C-alpha cells in the first residue's frame, strides 16, 4: 500500500512539476544554437547574487533573448582571473582586484556597479593581543585571494605596519579559521562570515573589527566586469545592454519580493540556512540604495580610490579606462524602466552623460572656480555700489543695492529651480555678504578720495570691466547651474541670461529707474549665445567620458566669449569708457 502511494505521488509530481515551473517562470525556450553568457560569481550560491537568480528564474534574461550560465566562485577562485582566462564572459568582482589584475591585453572594464557600499571587514581576536592596526605586526591574516589581500596590504601601509612583517595566508570559508583559533585574523563580509563568527559563540567584545573606510580606503565591491577587448564587438555590447536591463529587473523584484528571492536562492543550494540568507539579503539590499540609479558606476568613489596613492596608482595600466558608462547609458536609453525612479532626470529629460555631469560638478565645486565666481560677484557688487553713490544713497542703501545687484539674479534663478538650490548658497557662505560689504566700503573710500568719481576715467574703467567680467562669470555659472540641476537643455541659456539680468532688474526697481532689461536685450542676447555655446561644447564632451578637458575648455572659453561679446556690444553702443 505504501509503495502504491509512493508511485501515485511520483506520478502527480511528474504531472504538476512542468505546470509549476511554467507559473514560476523557470521554463524558458532556449535556442540550441545560442551561446550561453557565462557569469563568474564572486562566491558560491547565496543571497549576495539574488538579483541574478531572480532575473534568470523569472525569465527576464530569456525575455531579452539571453541564456545565462553561472560559474561558482570560492576560496582561491579570482573572478577577474577567470574572466581573463576566457572561462567567463562576465565577472562579478571587486574594483581593487580588477585594477590590480588589469594589465596589457588582459585589461578589464567595469560596465556597471551593483553595490554602492562596502561590507568587507578584517576581524581579529582580542585574545591575540590585537586592539589596533599597529598590533597586526607579526600576526597571520587570512584572505580568500579574491582581491581582499590588496585591501589588507593597503590597511597595513596606512597603519605604518610593514607588509613583510605580516603573514597573509589563504583562509577557509565561513570564518572557520578564526572560530577554531587557527588564525588570529580573517577577512569577513558583514553580510556573511561575520554573523557566522558571532553565531559560533564568540562575543563581539572578544573581537576587534577593522573597516577599510577607517583608513581612508574606499572599497568598491560587486561590480560587473568584462574584457576591454571584447567591448569592441557590437554584438557583445548588445548582449551586455540586455544583460544589465534584465539584471535591473531582477534586483527590483528582489527588493519588492524578498520572500520570492529567498525561495529561489534556496533552490540554487538547498543546504543554505534560510535564516542566515534572509539576514544576508537584508544587508545586501542596504548596499544597493534606492535613491541612486541602479548599476551606475560612481565616479566620485572611483576618484576617491585613485586619490589613495598607497591603494591605487594611476599608471600606465590605463586606470582611467577601467570603467565605462557606455553600456549603462545604452541600457537607460534603449530600455527605460518606470520602476527605477532614481535613474530618471528630475525634470523628465536626459541632458548630458553622467561622466560629463561629474566633471562639470568637479569644476563647479572646486576652490578655483568658487573663488572666480565669488570675485565676479564682488566685481558686480562694486559696480552697483558706485551707482548707489551717484544716486546719493547712504551706506545702508549702497549695501542693499549692491546685495540686490550681485545676488538677485542667482536668487531668482534658484527659486525657479528649487530642490538642492535652496536654501540660497550665499546664506551658508559668509564670503558673499562680507565681501559685498567690503566692496561697498571700498567704493565709498574711492568716492571720498576722488571727487566726481563717476566722471573719473579710472573709476569709469573700473566700473566697466568689473561689470563686464562679473556679468560674464555669472552668466557661465548660471548655465552650469541649469545643467547640473538637469533641467531640459533649453533652460541653460535662459538661466545664463536670468542670472545676469535678474540682479540688474532688482537694482533698477530699487533705484526707481526703468529696468534696462526690459528696454534693450543686447546684453541678454550676448549671454544667451554664451549659454548655447556651453551646451554645444558639453554635448561634444559626452564623447570623451574619460577626459575632463572638454569641460575645462567650456568653462574658460565660455567666460572669454562672454567678455568679448559684452565688450563688442559696449563698443557698438559707445558705452566703453574713454581713457584720459
Lowest mean pLDDT among 221-235, 259-273, 485-499, 512-526: 512-526
pLDDT digits (tens, 9 = 90+) for 155-185: 999 999 999 999 999 999 999 999 999 999 9
* pLDDT at res. 23: 39
Q: Are strands 223-227 and 90-93 parallel, antiparallel or unpaired?
A: antiparallel
Residues 19-75 have pLDDT tens digits of 443 333 333 445 556 689 999 999 999 999 999 999 999 999 999 999 999 999 998
Q: What is the mean pLDDT of residues 119-126?
A: 96
Report the alpha-carbon distance of residue 332 to residue 224 in Å, rounded. 16
Q: What is the pTM of this model?
A: 0.83
**Domains of the chain in sequence order:** 24-116+220-344 (3.40.190.10), 120-215 (3.40.190.10), 357-572 (no CATH)
Evaluate if residue 251 carries a pLDDT over 70: yes
**How far is residue 128 CA from its own chain's centroid?**
40
pLDDT band at 249 (very low <50, low <70, confident <90, very high): very high
468-490: average pLDDT: 89
pLDDT digits (tens, 9 = 90+) for 275-317: 999 999 999 999 998 888 999 999 998 988 776 544 444 343 4
Residue 476: the pLDDT is: 93
Give the pLDDT score at 26: 38
pLDDT at 505: 80
Alpha-carbon distance 151 to 157, whole Å? 10
What is the pLDDT, as a whole number, of residue 279?
93
Which residues does 75 contact at the CB level (< 8 Å), separation at least 6?
144, 145, 170, 171, 172, 173
Beta strands in 63-214 (DSSP E): 68-71, 90-93, 108-113, 120-125, 140-143, 167-170, 185-189, 207-210
pLDDT of 439 higher than 50: yes
pLDDT of 209 higher than 90? yes
Whether the Cβ atoms of residue 59 and residue 25 lie closer than 8 Å to each other: yes
Neighbouring residues of 130: CB distance < 8 A, sequence distance ≥ 6: 124, 136, 139, 184, 185, 208
Average pLDDT over residues 258-267: 96
pLDDT at 514: 67
Residue 399: closest CA among 497, 510, 502: 510
Distances (CA, A) of 385 to 16, 253, 411, 446, 472: 85, 60, 19, 11, 19
State whether residue 167 is helix, strand or coil: strand
The pLDDT value recorded for residue 135 is 96
Cα-based distances in Å from 307 to 302, 312, 314, 339: 9, 8, 9, 35
Task: Give the list of residues 6+ apart from residue 283 with CB closer than 8 angstroms, or none.
Answer: 119, 190, 191
Is pLDDT at 334 greater than 50 in this prediction? yes
Whether 337 has a pLDDT exceeding 90, the answer reads no
Q: What's the whole-number average pLDDT of the chain?
A: 85
Is the pLDDT at 7 greater than 90? The verdict is no
- Residue 122 bridge partners (DSSP): 187, 210
pLDDT at 80: 96
6 pLDDT more than 60: no
Distances (CA, A) of 515 to 259, 407, 509: 64, 17, 7
DSSP tag of 486: T
Amino acid at each position: 500500500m505504501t509503495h502504491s502511494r509512493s508511485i501515485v505521488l511520483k506520478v502527480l509530481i511528474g504531472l504538476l512539476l512542468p505546470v509549476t515551473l511554467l507559473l514560476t517562470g523557470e521554463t524558458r525556450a532556449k535556442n540550441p544554437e545560442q551561446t550561453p553568457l557565462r557569469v563568474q560569481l564572486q562566491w558560491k550560491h547565496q543571497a549576495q547574487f539574488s538579483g541574478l537568480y531572480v532575473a534568470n528564474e523569472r525569465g527576464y534574461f530569456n525575455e531579452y533573448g539571453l541564456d545565462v550560465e553561472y560559474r561558482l566562485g570560492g576560496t582561491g577562485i579570482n573572478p577577474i582571473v577567470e574572466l581573463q582566462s576566457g572561462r567567463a564572459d562576465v565577472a562579478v568582482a571587486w574594483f581593487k582586484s580588477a585594477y590590480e589584475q588589469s594589465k596589457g591585453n588582459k585589461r578589464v572594464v567595469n560596465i556597471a556597479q551593483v553595490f554602492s557600499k562596502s561590507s568587507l571587514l578584517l576581524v581579529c581576536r582580542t585574545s591575540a593581543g590585537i586592539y589596533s592596526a599597529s598590533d597586526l605586526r607579526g600576526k597571520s591574516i587570512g584572505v580568500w585571494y579574491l582581491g581582499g589581500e590588496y585591501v589588507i596590504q593597503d590597511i597595513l601601509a596606512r597603519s605604518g605596519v610593514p607588509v613583510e612583517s605580516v603573514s597573509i595566508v589563504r583562509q577557509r570559508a565561513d570564518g572557520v579559521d578564526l572560530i577554531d583559533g587557527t588564525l588570529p585574523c580573517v577577512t569577513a563580509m558583514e553580510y556573511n562570515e561575520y554573523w557566522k563568527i558571532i553565531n559560533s559563540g564568540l562575543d563581539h567584545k572578544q573581537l576587534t573589527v577593522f573597516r577599510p573606510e577607517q583608513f581612508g580606503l574606499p572599497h568598491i565591491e560587486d561590480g560587473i566586469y568584462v574584457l576591454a577587448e571584447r567591448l569592441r564587438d557590437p554584438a557583445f555590447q548588445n548582449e551586455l545592454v540586455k544583460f544589465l536591463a534584465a539584471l535591473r529587473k531582477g534586483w527590483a523584484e528582489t527588493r519588492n519580493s524578498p520572500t520570492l528571492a529567498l525561495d529561489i536562492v534556496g533552490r540554487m543550494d538547498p543546504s543554505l540556512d534560510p535564516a542566515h540568507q534572509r539576514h544576508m539579503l537584508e544587508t545586501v539590499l542596504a548596499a544597493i540604495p534606492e535613491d541612486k540609479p541602479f548599476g551606475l558606476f560612481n565616479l566620485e568613489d572611483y576618484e576617491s580610490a585613485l586619490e589613495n596613492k598607497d591603494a591605487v596608482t594611476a599608471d600606465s595600466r590605463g586606470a582611467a579606462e577601467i570603467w565605462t558608462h557606455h553600456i549603462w547609458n545604452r541600457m537607460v536609453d534603449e530600455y527605460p524602466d518606470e520602476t527605477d525612479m532614481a535613474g530618471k532626470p528630475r525634470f523628465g529629460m536626459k541632458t548630458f552623460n553622467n561622466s560629463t555631469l561629474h566633471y562639470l560638478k568637479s569644476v563647479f565645486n572646486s576652490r578655483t572656480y568658487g573663488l572666480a565666481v565669488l570675485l565676479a560677484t564682488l566685481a558686480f557688487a562694486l559696480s552697483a555700489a558706485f551707482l548707489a553713490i551717484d544716486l546719493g544713497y547712504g551706506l545702508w542703501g549702497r549695501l542693499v543695492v549692491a546685495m540686490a545687484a550681485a545676488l538677485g539674479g542667482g536668487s531668482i534663478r534658484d527659486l525657479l529651480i528649487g530642490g538642492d538650490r535652496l536654501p540660497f548658497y550665499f546664506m551658508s557662505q559668509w564670503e558673499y555678504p562680507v565681501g559685498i560689504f567690503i566692496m561697498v566700503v571700498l567704493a565709498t573710500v574711492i568716492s571720498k578720495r576722488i571727487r566726481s568719481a563717476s566722471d573719473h576715467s579710472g573709476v569709469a574703467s573700473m566700473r566697466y570691466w568689473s561689470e563686464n567680467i562679473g556679468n560674464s562669470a555669472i552668466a557661465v555659472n548660471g548655465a552650469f547651474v541649469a545643467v547640473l540641476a538637469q533641467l531640459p537643455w533649453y533652460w541653460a541659456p535662459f538661466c545664463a541670461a536670468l542670472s545676469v539680468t535678474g540682479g540688474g532688474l532688482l537694482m533698477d526697481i530699487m533705484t526707481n529707474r526703468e529696468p534696462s532689461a526690459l528696454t534693450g536685450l543686447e546684453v541678454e542676447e550676448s549671454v544667451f549665445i554664451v549659454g548655447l555655446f556651453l551646451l554645444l561644447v558639453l554635448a561634444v564632451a559626452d564623447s570623451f567620458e574619460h577626459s575632463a578637458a572638454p569641460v575645462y575648455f567650456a568653462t574658460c572659453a565660455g567666460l572669454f566669449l562672454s567678455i568679448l561679446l559684452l565688450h563688442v556690444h559696449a563698443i557698438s553702443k559707445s558705452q566703453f569708457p574713454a581713457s584720459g
